[in-house]
Amino acid sequence: MLRGSRFVKPFQLQAATNWQSSLIKGPPADTIFFLGFLIIAAVLSSFWIHLWTFQIDHSTNQTIVINDKYEITPKIIEFPLNCSIGINQTQTCPTNYPIAFTSDRLDPSSNGTCPDYFRFIHEDLKPWRTTGITRDMVERGKKTAHFRLVIVKGKAYIDRYKKSIQTRDMFTIWGILQLLRRYPGKVPDLELMFDCDDLPVIRSRDYRGQNSTQVPPLFRYCGDRWTKDIVFPDWSFWGWAEINIKPWGSLLKDVKKGNERSKWMEREPYAYWKGNPFVAESRRDLLKCNVSDTQDWNARLFIQDWILESQQGFKHSDVTNQCTHRYKIYIEGFAWSVSEKYILACDSVTFLVKPHYYDFFTRSLRPVHHYWPIRNDNKCKSIKFAVDWGNNHKQKAQAIGKAASDFIQQELKMDYVYDYMFHLLNEYAKLSKFEPRIPEGATHLCAETLACPAEESEKKFMTESLVKSPSMTNPCTMPPPYEPKDLGNFYRNNINLIKQVEKWEDKYWDSIHNKQQ
Ligand SMILES: *[C@@H]1O[C@H](CO)[C@@H](O)[C@H](O)[C@H]1NC(C)=O
Ligand SMILES: *[C@@H]1O[C@H](CO)[C@@H](O)[C@H](O)[C@H]1NC(C)=O
Ligand SMILES: *[C@@H]1O[C@H](CO)[C@@H](O)[C@H](O)[C@H]1NC(C)=O
Ligand SMILES: *[C@@H]1O[C@H](CO)[C@@H](O)[C@H](O)[C@H]1NC(C)=O
Ligand SMILES: *[C@@H]1O[C@H](CO)[C@@H](O)[C@H](O)[C@H]1NC(C)=O
Ligand SMILES: *[C@@H]1O[C@H](CO)[C@@H](O)[C@H](O)[C@H]1NC(C)=O
């Protein structure tokens, strides 16, 4: 069947002797399909440069190992959604998805080390560094959790406790399911509690002294310096269906194209913001800085009316069409805001109104390098000065915008978002001191159970963000923890830079007042 020894050699086939007894009833058609693709793959790969191996494990009994000096065109192994309905009219999870896949290649576009913000994984898991994580600690997080995620043998099980705001929980789970498709067999067994609400709840001050061994490890989207919640990428990376924001992977490409069309120098020389001011006092305060007949603080501010937008098909809320000004304001809402990444991606200078919260990637941003700091208490004066500074230092201002968009395009691409999830879960699982078990009544979820019955934009976004193939490269290499001294220096440097900007700002306003006198 396999003609030519050239093709036979690199493959070792260990097919199961007893197909039927295996967990999975893989019909022989599968094997033929597989052999077929292996042959095609081998033929297509007329160049073999790399030395690498990969392995597909369909069940514990069937292993196909490809292991030699032959490069096989990676894209060929695809696992599209299989929306065939099971016997009881319910969507079932396909049984033929690989449960293991190994490759020893590193991402050729980097030297293999993860971006710096991965180092905060060590910081987030510090409370359990010496005690480990017990079942009791996990259970304590249940009080506010929306769901429990259990991963056993590469499969995800969800125990749902309550409904989240909008589709946050569904798209978060969708993201985790994509991680499992990306790295079959690599995500370790674990059990965790996830809270989809905005505000962090595990207050450090409640876990001092003897309570310090009881900190619940609770996953959510953001944290602050007073809490110990573990931060995880938010749902919007897979799309925010309610307000029609596309999955991050495709959005990043659109923004990049948009940036090429509209050069910084040609953009409006003002600070732009568009959002919902009703979620936070500080946003309402910002609106006072808007241009009017009597004042111009160099700010152009707009209210986003999501209800009107949804009625008009989101024509005016496309984030990729909002990179029209040289300066863009980021201001937190009720907590952190998912808009930060869209703003940083613009090539404009991000004006960061002093934030209270952080999410998984923002802690590595540096003032004056990636963004321009704006005071929270005196926003208008701060903005006015910052725009003047930028328009008088165009090269430097442009460089800040570029550093931020480069950071976003390179270090926050979807590959790294998955790698962040992978390493966080991996480090978390390493600390676990108990055997994860599938809770009674938990549902086994896979991409099919979510995407097949979905409709409209939810379906569209899931289809768009589906991970179709296992990753041909390994996750990036986790960087070591910060030395406490280095982390201290990092924070101190940031504070000093912000103070420096504030000094410039004070001087600027002093000189204006002096002139007026
Ligand atoms: C197939 O796998 C199952 C479960 O791991 C094991 O009990 C059984 O012995 C295996 N059969 C063969 C033929 O290896
Ligand atoms: C399908 O329905 C039958 C009869 O109601 C039940 O015994 C069986 O467990 C169901 N199968 C699945 C996969 O839900
Ligand atoms: C889709 O899933 C069904 C049920 O698990 C299976 O019988 C069928 O072979 C799958 N189709 C493909 C193309 O994998
Ligand atoms: C590898 O990449 C990291 C992050 O981009 C960088 O800090 C480091 O210097 C690089 N190392 C080498 C040897 O290029
Ligand atoms: C320890 O936890 C208990 C119950 O949660 C609480 O009442 C007590 O104040 C905590 N003690 C400290 C020192 O934080
Ligand atoms: C801010 O000013 C602009 C220009 O006058 C106006 O179009 C916009 O509606 C104003 N925004 C708010 C929130 O009032």
Residues with CB under 6 A from ligand 5: 206, 208-209, 211
Segment 361-386, tens digit of pLDDT: 999 999 999 999 999 999 999 999 99
| Residues 180 and 425: beta-carbon distance below 8 Å | no
Atom of ligand 4 nearest to the CA of 115: 4
Closest CA to 460 of 240, 208, 195, 226: 240
Predicted confidence (pLDDT) per residue in 166-188, tens digit? 899 999 999 999 999 999 889 99
Q: What is the pLDDT of residues 115-167, one digit of tens each?
A: 999 999 999 999 999 999 999 999 999 999 999 999 999 999 999 999 988 89
Region of poorest pLDDT, from 123-127, 133-137, 397-401, 453-457: 453-457
- Residue 353, pLDDT > 90, answer yes
pTM: 0.82
Mutate to test the pocket of ligand 4, among 107, 113, 412 (most ligand atoms within 8 A of CB): 113
Average pLDDT over residues 68-72: 39
Closest C-alpha residue for ligand 3 atom 11: 82
Q: How far is the CA of 470 from the centre of ligand 6 (A)?
A: 48
433: left (phi over 0), alpha (psi -120 to 50) or beta: alpha
Say yes or no: CB of residue 13 within 6 Å of ligand 6. no
For residue 171, which phi and psi values (nearest 5 degrees)? -75, -25
> C-alpha angle with apex 298: 257 to 386, nearest 5 degrees?
80
Q: Measured between alpha carbons, how far is 375 from 353 in angstroms, rounded to an integer?
A: 6
**Residue 4 pLDDT more than 50?**
no
What does the pLDDT read at residue 103? 61
Q: Which CATH superfamily is domain 251-358+362-411 in?
A: Glycogen Phosphorylase B; (3.40.50.2000)
CA of 92 from ligand 5 middle (Å) equals 46
pLDDT recorded at residue 27: 38
State the pairing for strand pair 325-330/349-353.
parallel
**In the numeric block, which tokens belong to residue 151?**
């991963």
- State whether the beta carbon of 276 lies less than 6 angstroms from ligand 6: no
Instruction: Tell which atom from ligand 5 comes closest to the C-alpha of 211.
Output: 1
pLDDT of residue 91: 80
Q: Which ligand 4 atom is nearest residue 116's CA?
A: 4
Nearest CA to ligand 4 atom 13: 111
For residue 454, the model assigns a pLDDT of 87
pLDDT in tens, 243-300: 888 999 999 999 999 898 889 999 999 999 999 999 999 999 999 999 999 999 999 9
Sorted by where each begins, the domain ranges of the chain are 103-234+414-481, 251-358+362-411
For ligand 5, mutation pick of 140, 208, 211, 228 (most atoms within 8 Å of CB):
211
Average pLDDT over residues 441-450: 91
Give the closest residue (by CA) to ligand 6 atom 14.
Answer: 302
DSSP string, 3-45: -SHHHHTTEEEE--S-TTTSSS---HHHHHHHHHHHHHHHHH-
Task: Using the predicted structure, report yes or no on whether residue 70 has a pLDDT greater than 70.
Answer: no
Ligand 5 atom closest to the CA of 209, numbered from 1: 13
| Ranges 48-57, 78-87, 110-119, most confident | 110-119
CB burial of residue 209 (10 Å; 0-12, 13-18, 19+): exposed
CB count within 10 Å of CB 32 equals: 11
Residue ranges lining ligand 4, Cβ < 6 Å: 111, 113
SS3 content of the chain, % helix, strand, coil (to 5): 40, 15, 40
The residues facing 102 across adjacent strands are 55
